[in-house]
Structures are given as C-alpha cells and as structure tokens.
Amino acid sequence: MANILLTGGTGYIGAHTAVVLIESGHTPILLDNFSNSTPKVAERIQVITGVKPMVIEQDVLDTAALVDVLNTHDIQAVIHFAAHKAVGESVEKPLSYYQNNVMGTLSVLAAMAQAGVHHIVLSSSATVYGENGVPPMSEDAPLSATNPYGQTKVMMEQIIRDVAVADKTLRYAMLRYFNPVGAHPSGQIGEHPRGIPNNLMPYVQQVAIGLREKLSVFGNDYPTADGTGERDYIHVMDLARGHVLAVNHLLAGNDSFTVNLGTGKPVTVLQMVQAFEQASGKPIAYTIAPRRAGDVASVYANPQLARQLLGFETEYTISDMCRDAWVWQSRNPNGYDEA
C-alpha cells in the first residue's frame, strides 16, 4: 500500500481515481492549482469512501515545491493528470498549452528525480494516434497530432520515454484514454466543464437539464453505421480502475508500458443520444450540423494489450455511463457549487 501523488487530483478523472485508490488501500494525495476544479471534491470523496484525502494547493510548474511534497509525504508513485485539455482552446492559446502541459511534465520529472521517486503514470490520450490511424488503434501505431493539445500529449510521452532511457530507475505507465464519460454511481462526483461544453456527453447532459436548447450533431455523412462519428466511450470508473491496476503493476517491479484504456467498441453520436434518452427519460433535441474541423469518422481502441498486461476489462455499459452521468448532472446542476 503506497502514498501516491495525484497531480491534477481534484479534476474529473483524478477524483474518480482517488476513490478507487482509497478503496484499494492506497493513500492518494491530491495536488492541484484549481484552475479547472475545486477542493470541495475532497468532501465528496469522503462521503463515498469515508476517507477525506489530503488536498494540496500547488502548481506543478513549481519544481521545488513538488520536491518538498514528494519528500514530506513519502510518495512512492506519481499519477500525472495535471494538464489543460481543451482541443479548441489549445489552437487559440498554444503557448499556454505547451507551457502548462510540457513544462509541467518536465517539472514533475525533475522533482521525482530529485526526491528519488521512481514510478510515474501519465494521462495520455487516443489523440496521439492523430487522424491517419485505422481503427482499432493499437499501441504500436505511429503517433501524430492535429492540434497543440495533441502535440503536448505526444511530447509528454516522448519526454518520459527519453528520461527513462537515461535514468534506468524510472518506470512509467503511459495510459492512452479513449473517451471518458459518466460519473461515480453515487452522484457525488462527476464532470463539470466550465462554459459551453466541447465534448459530446457534457453537452447532451446540459440539454437534458434544459441548460442548452439542442445538440448540434457534427456531421451525418461519415462512413459509419448511421453516418455520425464513432468513438470509444469508457466509464470513468473503469478508467479509474485502470489507473490502480497500472500503478500496482509498476509498484510490483514490472517494466514500463504503454496501453490503451478503452472498451474496443465504437458507438455513434446518435446511438449515444438514444442511450442517454433512455437512461434519463429526457428527450434530447438535436440538429444535424456540418462536420467539426479536425474530426475523424471513427476512433476506437484495440484493448488487448491492457487486458494481457494488466488484466484490464471494462465492466460498465453505455447505458451505465448514461445513467451515472444523468444521476450526477441532475443532482448537481451547478457542479460542486450548491444548487
């Protein structure tokens, strides 16, 4: 059982991972600058688990402060979630994305080297497969990116690989997430994007509660089952469990690895809308809009390697994802702020 530092730990995926870490007997410590989250998450985690995790307000760019945290709390592994993550915003503000995501990773690695911490799990993304990949995506596919956010993920991976070549004591797990959705089934924690959501599920959720009038479905002339884009949606609790398997695998002394975390099953936009309508009992108004720039028809994982290496199997269905997203959204229309 280990003390594990979660950078970006009060964010969407970090909070769910903290729950599963606590339930597995580990001690997560959540470090965040709250640029896209709130420390209130810790109380919600306590409601679920009975344990209130320690939250440290800190920017990952401050290497000296990170060294201090790693030493003071006897950290054995770091899960590095902290990053900016909005594709569109990254095109508008590339400097901010390279600064936060790439420099943040350099800072975390430098701090780990100074403090003698040898295990890192990185939040990577299916976006590293770029637009030329042929699904199902396998880990050995060539990497590329179509926007600054994606570039930062390709760079973050490469930096970690290079550092691990030079420092034989460093062990990494690169986790390439497909499309994380849903929420903890309790409705205590979930995703609460600021402003107009860019991603499909949060947008659908906001239409369901009446915050947005209708969904724009970006394109219905793709070569897919119903013409709308296909993605590989994974329940955030399955994803969280994948992190715990990954960190345990590293802490058990195994070699570094890179795996996809997805279900391997493509689901179209309209299939998702229908599943959400069924789960919530709310009609989702939508119109067909032009394709979104940079979108591809179909992205889904080859999940074999994660299964083989970690024994990772997803458990939640699309209807579970919609049900839990709806429980969260309907009970917390203002996110972590009181209604």
Catalytic residues: 149
Task: Write down the least CB distance from residue 200 to ligand UDP, Å.
Answer: 4
Element (H, E) at 171: strand 171-177
Pick the closer one to ligand NAD by CB: 186 or 288: 186
Give CA–CA dist 188/43, Å, rounded: 9
User: Which one-letter amino acid corresponds to residue 221?
Assistant: D
> Which of 57-65, 92-100, 212-220, 258-266 is the region at the interface with ligand UDP (rule: CB under 6 A)?
212-220
CA 244 to chain centre: 14
DSSP for 230-293, written as a single string: EE-EEEHHHHHHHHHHHHHHHHTTPPPEEEEES-S--EEHHHHHHHHHHHH-----EEEEPPPT
168-172 long-range contacts (CB < 8 A, ≥24 apart) are: 169/118, 170/109, 170/112, 170/113, 170/118, 170/120, 170/256, 171/118, 171/119, 171/120, 171/250, 171/254, 171/255, 171/256, 172/119, 172/120, 172/121, 172/122, 172/250, 172/256, 172/257
Task: Write down the least CB distance from residue 180 to ligand UDP, Å.
Answer: 10
Pick the closer one to ligand UDP by CB: 114 or 146: 146
Task: Write down the least CB distance from residue 279 to ligand UDP, Å.
Answer: 17
Stated length of the chain: 339
> Which of 29-37, 151-159, 211-219, 318-326 is the region at the interface with ligand UDP (rule: CB under 6 A)?
211-219
* Residue 229 interacting entry, from ligand NAD, ligand UDP, none, C-beta within 5 to 8 Å by type: ligand UDP
CA 314 to chain centre: 15
Query: Should residue 34 be labelled a site residue for ligand NAD when binding is judged by CB under 6 A?
Result: yes
Query: Should residue 83 be labelled a site residue for ligand NAD when binding is judged by CB under 6 A?
Result: yes
Query: Should residue 90 be labelled a site residue for ligand NAD when binding is judged by CB under 6 A?
Result: no
How many residues belong to the site for ligand NAD (CB under 6 A)? 26
Query: Should residue 61 be labelled a site residue for ligand NAD when binding is judged by CB under 6 A?
Result: yes
Task: Write down the least CB distance from residue 34 to ligand NAD, Å.
Answer: 5
Give me 253's structure tokens.
Answer: 């002394």
- Contact positions vs ligand UDP (CB under 6 A): 179, 198-200, 203, 215-218, 229, 231, 269, 292, 295, 299
- Contact positions vs ligand NAD (CB under 6 A): 7-8, 10-14, 32-37, 59-61, 81-83, 85, 100, 104, 123, 125, 177, 180
